[in-house]
Structure 1
Amino acid sequence: MKKGYFATPSSRNMLLFFTGKLASILGSGMYTFVVGLYILKLTGSGSSFAVTLICGMLPRIVLAPFAGVMADRMNRRMLLIYSDLAAVLTLLLAFLAVSLGGGMLLPIYTSLVLLSVCSTFYGISVSSSLLQLVDSQYIQRAGSLNQMAGSIGNLLAPVLGGMLYAVVPFKLFMLLNAAGFTISTLMSCGLRFKRDPELTESGGAADPAALSHAGRDLSNMMSELRSSLTGGISYVFKKPVIRAILIIVFWVNFFVVALNVVLPFVAVEHLSLSSGQYGTLNAMLAAGMLVMSLLLSVRRQSSSPARSLIRGLTSLGLLFIAMALPLIFFFSTGSAFIFLLVLMFLTGSTVMNINIPIQVYLQQTVEADYRGRVFAVVETASGAIAPAGMILYGLLVDLLPAAFLLTASGLAILLVTLLGRRGLKSGNELEANENREAEVQLHA
């Protein structure tokens, strides 16, 4: 008799972490969206609205490396639970502060920062824990579900947030979000983590003596954190393939920012699309990510994640170049809209074909007690360059033709792909030689 799909621990864990992450992403996404609307209505100030974006972005960039250290040194299941509980507590305290203080902005900004901190620790803990939650043959499916939860959450958060904001008072909205994080907490409590022998042998998260020693006083704890963080960065740069992936992620994220800065300018100023049509373009990007995540969750796991990464990056560069075509050749408004809809859907799909192979490769190759720090370094590298790209493209879009910027960005992505392919190839050869030398010394 065939067992039910959720009878295995891997399948059960996938359902629980998918539900928990979806609730967490929806909660934080809706809150950020609604807070922006609330502050705009309250102050009418664009600068105040910009502060909300900074409050959501900056903690991720600054704290991701420390979140990786904590994910490697703590029980990851408990870190997930503590992150969600902290989010619930943050929203409850913000509710009390707003209820007692009226229209004060400080508690709202503070809650955004704290929720971003909680989200950073939660996200890195989930990403670095997949091999402890599922068997190795399900790692691509788990990675796809992880990305799918983020895609669905990002797609639905503005829609649901806008609908609720229209009918629910802001203070009550805080309580609804607290309930969402409570659901995520319950899902995390139900997860069953496999014991990872690597952690125990290397003295990482499973070594309570190390944690006890680190917690003797504040100075010792900070010393331990700095040492662990330095060790994680050193690990990344000692692994040629991971180092090559990090460089690719860094530069590709710099040029991909053109999509966020140049495309709105193209859609509104050059193609005269309505705000509704532009919103639909953004929705198609999320829809492409969602569909590809679904496909990858049922497709056979790739035997060569690096090859899938290179194919995805090549496609992304060509898609950026194609987005310039309506600005170079004559397109009616309707045909340009349909053309960009298709390209945005394909771009979303391609992004998943890039992100998931990277996740699969890191899950399969990075030692368990370094996994959290490696994911944190990759996330920090990709996030830290984005603001610089936004500033640069924001300046260039007023000085250079948008078609040139999109074409140049696509060509730059293709160049990064070409150089990255060589880096991955040489890295693989170098690691293979190191492994052969290690085996020779072992048998000598």
Structure 2
Amino acid sequence: MSEPTPVSAASNRNIILFFSGKFASVLGSSMYTFVVGLYILQLTGSGSSFAVTLLCGMLPSIILSPFAGVVADMVNRRKLLIGSDAASVLIMLLSFAAVSIEGMSLLPIYISLILLSICATFYSISASSSMMMLVDRDSIQRTGSLNQIASSVGHLLAPILAGMLYAFLPLEEFMLLNAAGLTISTVMGCMLKFKPAPEALSEAGLTDGAAETGNPPLRERLGSVAAEVRTNLKEGFSYVIRRPVIRSLLIIVFWINFFVVALNVVLPFVAVQTLGLSSKQYGILEAMLAAGMLLMSLLLTVLRQSNNPVNTIIGGLSALGLLFLAMALPLLLHFNAAVTFFFFLPLLILVGVVIIIINIPIQVYLQQSIEEEYRGRVFGLVEGIAGSIAPLGMLLYGVLLDWIPGSIILLASGAAILAVTLTGRRGLISSNAAEQQGVQVEHGAEQAGA
């Protein structure tokens, strides 16, 4: 067996560092968010106060994702990644100081959630857009899978650990735990080794350690920042429009996220209200979804990366639509609660598996096909689109459940997913084939010129 190249060794090192930092960050942040929710419900007993907590965590990401993408393409991504994590640590320490001095109240909690969400948005975009500068091209699938594993395991462990510790630790000590997790993530980020940036980015001063001399005064730079952001944002939209495959994927991501939200709303309603399942049984159903995602993520770390992720994405979307239709069957045929519960168990595992089969190839395709100078803006648009539609879907399905049985909503959602897949399939495949042919022609021309 041949020795790994220096690039491969650096790639493996970065993967381990990235995984470790992500896990520590997700675990600490998820424990803090979980405990904040419990604390606010116990303190106020108000559903609206709890809803404000959710909005504080969601809205900054939805609003700022496209702008975070612009910033990621304008500045040094390594500094942005490390700075976002370091700022999160500072926010947690300041929040701890505030509640220690002034006492516990809702205002510092809400402010900390908003600021953490802002930092997390910039961190997420900078990390996503830097992937090709951190790992080998053939390691994108493995990296994305390990990233998903870190998130899944962190989200699974967080409520368990937080629930055990909540009886013994006050909220401010969970702030310190979150700060510790974010500190680990920051240290891991500092240890990451970035590849040299392409020439276009190097000229823009985006390489690690780029010279910072000769810049105009801060006052002059601030005067042109708004115009520069607008220009870069327009260029990002124009780039997506010029790339048919990316444009089609964004449209599919938008609609699929909208219809998949039905599961998040319908499942708890059906489990508790329709079937009368216990909280333990409902928790098991929720865990099956996470287990499926974790299982497929582990599998993808060892499977060979696909050379044609578009076909995998289409197959996964078709399977997801069929699984939604299958979940409606026991409700339509009026199976008893026990049979429906055991029918749902394998289906939810398969839904988790299929979600990863869709998500990871999308990440692989976007990482490999987007030019470095546009990657931040495109990933900002992807996260903004995916995040913005979820609250609307939750609201709509919540209203519909008061009027329409959950089985009908699942059927309609499954049919809609299949319709979106079939509608976008031909254009996606033809656009991908044309794009691949264009790449081959360009590569042949370069070889002939050489």
- Shorter chain as denominator, the TM-score bin is over 0.9
The normalised TM-score by structure 1 is: 0.94
Q: What is aligned with 1:403?
A: 407
Stretch deviating more after TM superposition (276-285 or 433-442): 433-442
After superposition, the Cα gap between the structure-2 partners of 1:431 and 1:329, relative to the gap in structure 1 and judged at 3 Å, is same
- Which of 422, 430, 434 is the equivalent residue of 1:418? 422
- Which of 294, 297, 311 is the equivalent residue of 1:293? 297
Q: What is aligned with 2:317?
A: 313
Distance 2:436 2:137 in 1: 22
For the residue of structure 1 that corresponds to 2:167, the secondary structure is helix
Stretch deviating more after TM superposition (14-23 or 333-342): 333-342
Distance 1:288 1:378 in 2: 24
Q: Deviation digits for residues 76-134 of structure 1, max 9, x if unmatched?
A: 22111111111111011111111122232111100000111111111111111111111
Gaps of 5+ in 1: none
Q: What is aligned with 1:33?
A: 34
Q: What is aligned with 1:128?
A: 129
Is residue 252–residue 421 contact of structure 2 (8 Å, CA) maintained in 1? Answer: yes
Q: Deviation digits for residues 275-321 of structure 1, max 9, x if unmatched?
A: 11111111111111111111001100011100110111011111111
Distance 2:236 2:213 in 1: 17
Distance 2:96 2:173 in 1: 8
- Which of 239, 242, 246 is the equivalent residue of 1:242? 246
Distance 2:371 2:129 in 1: 10
Q: Deviation digits for residues 358-414 of structure 1, max 9, x if unmatched?
A: 000011100011111111101111111111111111111111121111001001000
Q: What is aligned with 1:389?
A: 393
Q: What is aligned with 2:363?
A: 359
CA drift of 1:41 comes to 1.0
After superposition, the Cα gap between the structure-2 partners of 1:11 and 1:330, relative to the gap in structure 1 and judged at 3 Å, is same
- Which of 257, 274, 282 is the equivalent residue of 2:286? 282
After superposition, the Cα gap between the structure-2 partners of 1:202 and 1:270, relative to the gap in structure 1 and judged at 3 Å, is farther
Cα-Cα RMSD: 2.5
Is residue 73–residue 211 contact of structure 1 (8 Å, CA) maintained in 2? Answer: no
Is residue 205–residue 369 contact of structure 1 (8 Å, CA) maintained in 2? Answer: no
Distance 1:30 1:238 in 2: 42
After superposition, the Cα gap between the structure-2 partners of 1:278 and 1:290, relative to the gap in structure 1 and judged at 3 Å, is same
- The residue identity in structure 1 corresponding to 2:290 is A
CA drift of 1:71 comes to 1.6
Q: Is 1:62 paired with 2:63?
A: yes
Is residue 31–residue 174 contact of structure 2 (8 Å, CA) maintained in 1? Answer: no
Distance 2:413 2:192 in 1: 42
Q: What is aligned with 1:161?
A: 162
Distance 2:302 2:98 in 1: 46
For the residue of structure 2 that corresponds to 1:398, the secondary structure is coil
Q: What is aligned with 1:178?
A: 179
Is residue 236–residue 377 contact of structure 2 (8 Å, CA) maintained in 1? Answer: yes
Gaps of 5+ in 2: none
Distance 1:229 1:38 in 2: 39
The total of aligned residue pairs comes to 444
Distance 1:51 1:381 in 2: 21
Q: Is 1:221 paired with 2:222?
A: no
Stretch deviating more after TM superposition (136-145 or 51-60): 136-145
Q: What is aligned with 1:152?
A: 153
For the residue of structure 2 that corresponds to 1:299, the secondary structure is coil
Distance 1:103 1:267 in 2: 36
Stretch deviating more after TM superposition (3-12 or 116-125): 3-12
Distance 1:10 1:439 in 2: 26
Distance 2:172 2:5 in 1: 40
- The residue identity in structure 1 corresponding to 2:140 is I
Distance 2:440 2:291 in 1: 45
Distance 2:5 2:149 in 1: 19
Q: Is 1:110 paired with 2:128?
A: no
Stretch deviating more after TM superposition (108-117 or 164-173): 164-173
Is residue 240–residue 430 contact of structure 1 (8 Å, CA) maintained in 2? Answer: no
After superposition, the Cα gap between the structure-2 partners of 1:185 and 1:441, relative to the gap in structure 1 and judged at 3 Å, is closer
Q: What is aligned with 2:51?
A: 50
Percent identity for Structure 1 against Structure 2 = 59
Distance 1:32 1:133 in 2: 29
Is residue 87–residue 118 contact of structure 1 (8 Å, CA) maintained in 2? Answer: yes
Q: Deviation digits for residues 44-80 of structure 1, max 9, x if unmatched?
A: 1111000000000001101111111122222222111
For the residue of structure 2 that corresponds to 1:167, the secondary structure is coil
After superposition, the Cα gap between the structure-2 partners of 1:342 and 1:199, relative to the gap in structure 1 and judged at 3 Å, is farther
Is residue 288–residue 345 contact of structure 2 (8 Å, CA) maintained in 1? Answer: yes
For the residue of structure 1 that corresponds to 2:293, the secondary structure is helix
Distance 1:369 1:309 in 2: 25
Q: Deviation digits for residues 321-375 of structure 1, max 9, x if unmatched?
A: 1111121124232221121121111111111111100000011100011111111
The 5 Å alignment of 1:75-94 reads 75-94=76-95
CA drift of 1:199 comes to 4.2
After superposition, the Cα gap between the structure-2 partners of 1:411 and 1:369, relative to the gap in structure 1 and judged at 3 Å, is same
